[in-house]
Amino acid sequence: MNTTIKPKTARGRLGVLIVGLNGAVSTTFLAGTIAVRKGIAEPVGSLTQLASIRLGKRSDNKFPKIKDFVPLTDLNDLVFGGWDIRDEDCYKSALYAGVLSEKHIESVKDELSKLKPMKAVFDQKYVTRLHGDWVKKADSKFGFMNLIREDIRKFKAEQEVDRIVMIWCASTEIFISPNGVHKDIKTFETAMRESHSDISPSMLYAYAALAEGVPFINGAPNLSVDSPALVQFARMRKVPVAGKDFKTGQTLLKTVIAPMLKAKMLGLRGWFSSNILGNRDGEVLDDPDSFKTKEQSKLSVLDVILQPNLYPNLYGSYHHMVRINYYPPRGDDKEGWDNIDIFGWMGYPMQLKINFLCKDSILAAPLVLDLILFMDLAQRKNMYGIQDWLSFFFKSPMHLEKATPEHDLFIQHMKLKNTLRKMMGEKPISHLDETETVKEFEAVFQ
Ligand SMILES: NC(=O)c1ccc[n+]([C@@H]2O[C@H](COP(=O)([O-])OP(=O)(O)OC[C@H]3O[C@@H](n4cnc5c(N)ncnc54)[C@H](O)[C@@H]3O)[C@@H](O)[C@H]2O)c1
């Protein structure tokens, strides 16, 4: 990163194109952001709106808000749009999602009622539990992708936005492992023209975004932009990409507890995670092929954090199981149980039990906001390809083929803040260069 050139200022308006505009996460994000703009709600959970960042030594006492330190787009300059397979406005969808109270939804009714989705690119083969009638028609997958490009251009012109960010908040597609079709951009383009079955709608949205120079974020666990072909395309087009799968509930806790176990050299015999969830996301994940996509995303974190190859006696043979059960009475109020079997001094067994009663979309909404603002910032700083400094927000952070992903929440947090410091030409914080301590340390050892 060139640290002498700061990000360009956020001039004009930023278009936010959401795939899955009418879903629970999207409408909770939209209602909340509009309510914050009106000064009737607090953006709790959002780093860009609330967090501060330390600059220099602790004794310098400089802790500006992130939003005052880096040139982020103001919430009043966001313009929303997107696609869904349901022909209804976001007011009706927010009521249907059942996440927010009627009082909150009514307070932003005018704005939500005006938000209607464009027709989606959808194929039931990839999300078997849903049917869509608000969908586009084309002769090939390449044709579908071109229709998305046209939508992007039309939105930009009609809404008079200066820049756009696209985010996938749509349903989880079935599991597709990257293969020859996704190996490079040439084969990928041929596969789109041949309507190959390993090209899913989320890949078409991602390609269209990149082709239009629009940063793309994947909030779901499906492959989407996370393939060598599309990462190569992002680099060619000089556009940032980030994903995948918002880190909100159980995995968020996992990436806090597991580093603690490792830091304390406590052993792990097993980790059983179970959830009940009753929203539409839960219904989609009830399909084994969509669940497989989610399961892969949730399972990957422990091994990377615990490094069983380095600590075979502590972490060489633990059992890790993840269950998601669709249970309609709960709606968006997900309940997760974790049973963690650990062992300590001389191998004596102990247990940890965590019962997290959360609201799925309430946890996800601030991540959507932060990711949109940070990706726009990255583009204005001319940063492109995989934005792994945003791994803080994801269960399965995208990473270069040769690198292992970082899952530890606090390392991710430090990486995010140090990247912001570097972007603005400030020194990253290493916790070693606290002058007093270092001076004392050096004096002792001279
Ligand atoms: N809520 C969380 O904490 C959380 C965490 C991690 C990931 N996610 C992921 O975020 C996504 C959204 O979650 P949600 O609870 O809002 O789900 P949801 O079912 O309420 O919303 C998804 C929306 O996507 C639409 N859709 C499906 N396929 C589409 C397509 N091809 N084009 C356009 N629209 C399409 C659906 O009609 C629906 O309105 C899911 O993939 C979920 O797994 C959510």
Span 82-103, average pLDDT: 96
96 alpha carbon – ligand 1 mean position (Å): 14
367 alpha carbon – ligand 1 mean position (Å): 14
Q: Which of 17, 19, 25 to mutate to test the pocket of ligand 1 (most atoms within 8 A of CB)?
A: 25
What's the pLDDT at 197?
96
227 near 200, Cβ under 8 Å?
A: no
**138-193 pLDDT tens trace:** 999 999 999 999 999 999 999 999 999 999 999 999 999 889 999 999 999 999 99
- Residue 270, judged by CB atoms within 10 A of its CB (0-12, 13-18, 19+), counts as middle
221 near 291, Cβ under 8 Å?
A: no
The span from the CA of 307 to the CA of 305, in Å, is 6
What's the pLDDT at 404?
85
83 CB less than 6 Å from ligand 1?
yes
Beta-carbon contacts of 19 under 8 Å, excluding residues fewer than 6 positions away, are: 82, 83, 120, 166, 167, 168, 169, 170, 202, 205
The residue written with tokens 């633990």 in the block is 318
Span 202-212, average pLDDT: 98
Q: Domain 14-246+361-423: which topology?
A: Rossmann fold (3.40.50)
The rounded percent of the chain whose pLDDT value lies above 70 is 96
What's the pLDDT at 318?
96
Q: Which atom of ligand 1 is nearest to the CA of 248?
A: 3
Q: Which atom of ligand 1 is nearest to the CA of 280?
A: 19
The span from the CA of 92 to the CA of 263, in Å, is 48
228 near 401, Cβ under 8 Å?
A: yes
Of the candidate ranges 170-184, 259-273, 432-446, the one whose mean pLDDT is the lowest: 432-446
244 near 250, Cβ under 8 Å?
A: no
Distance of CA 137 to the CA centre of its chain: 29
Which of 80, 75, 72, 90 shows the shortest CA–CA distance to 159? 80
Q: What are the DSSP calls for 50-90, one per residue?
A: H-B--BS-GGG-B--BHHHHS-PPPGGGEEEEEEESS-S-H
11 alpha carbon – ligand 1 mean position (Å): 31
The span from the CA of 446 to the CA of 439, in Å, is 10
**298-329 pLDDT tens trace:** 777 898 999 999 999 999 999 999 998 999 99
359 near 332, Cβ under 8 Å?
A: yes
Q: Is the pLDDT of residue 287 over 70?
A: yes
Which of 88, 208, 64, 56 shows the shortest CA–CA distance to 141? 208
84 CB less than 6 Å from ligand 1?
yes
Q: Which of 121, 135, 281 to mutate to test the pocket of ligand 1 (most atoms within 8 A of CB)?
A: 281
25 alpha carbon – ligand 1 mean position (Å): 7
Q: Is the pLDDT of residue 280 over 90?
A: no
102 near 95, Cβ under 8 Å?
A: yes
Q: What are the DSSP calls for 98-131, one per residue?
A: T-S-HHHHHHTHHHHHH--PEEB---TTTSTT--
**35-49 pLDDT tens trace:** 999 999 999 999 999
Q: Is the pLDDT of residue 232 over 90?
A: yes
Q: Which residues pair with 325 in a beta bridge?
A: 276
C-alpha distances in Å from residue 251, one per residue of 106, 155, 242, 273, 412: 33, 36, 18, 9, 14
Name residue 192's amino acid: M
CB atoms within 10 A of CB 90: 30
Q: Is the pLDDT of residue 2 over 80?
A: no
201 CB less than 6 Å from ligand 1?
yes
332 alpha carbon – ligand 1 mean position (Å): 12
Beta-carbon contacts of 39 under 8 Å, excluding residues fewer than 6 positions away, are: none
Q: Domain 261-357: which topology?
A: Dihydrodipicolinate Reductase; domain 2 (3.30.360)
366 CB less than 6 Å from ligand 1?
no
pLDDT-based confidence at residue 446 (cuts at 50, 70, 90): very low
Domain ranges of the chain: 14-246+361-423, 261-357
Span 285-310, average pLDDT: 84
Q: What is the DSSP letter of 297?
A: H
200 alpha carbon – ligand 1 mean position (Å): 15
290 alpha carbon – ligand 1 mean position (Å): 12
Q: Is the pLDDT of residue 286 over 90?
A: no
284 alpha carbon – ligand 1 mean position (Å): 9
Q: Which atom of ligand 1 is nearest to the CA of 363?
A: 3
428 alpha carbon – ligand 1 mean position (Å): 36
58 alpha carbon – ligand 1 mean position (Å): 42
Span 270-278, average pLDDT: 93
227 CB less than 6 Å from ligand 1?
no
Question: Residue 217 belongs to what H/E stretch?
Answer: strand 216-218
Q: Which atom of ligand 1 is nearest to the CA of 127?
A: 28
The rounded percent of the chain whose pLDDT value lies above 90 is 81
23 CB less than 6 Å from ligand 1?
yes
117 CB less than 6 Å from ligand 1?
no
pLDDT-based confidence at residue 440 (cuts at 50, 70, 90): low
Q: Is the pLDDT of residue 75 over 60?
A: yes
332 CB less than 6 Å from ligand 1?
no
The span from the CA of 192 to the CA of 316, in Å, is 42
What's the pLDDT at 327?
93
What's the pLDDT at 254?
94
371 CB less than 6 Å from ligand 1?
no
The residue written with tokens 């078409």 in the block is 204
* Residue 381, both tokens: 């700083």
Q: Which residues pair with 430 in a beta bridge?
A: none
Q: Is the pLDDT of residue 441 over 70?
A: no
Say whether pTM exceeds 0.85. Answer: yes
**58-70 pLDDT tens trace:** 889 999 999 999 9
Same CATH fold, 261-357 and 14-246+361-423? no
Looking at every residue in the chain, the average pLDDT score rounds to: 93
Q: Is the pLDDT of residue 436 over 90?
A: no
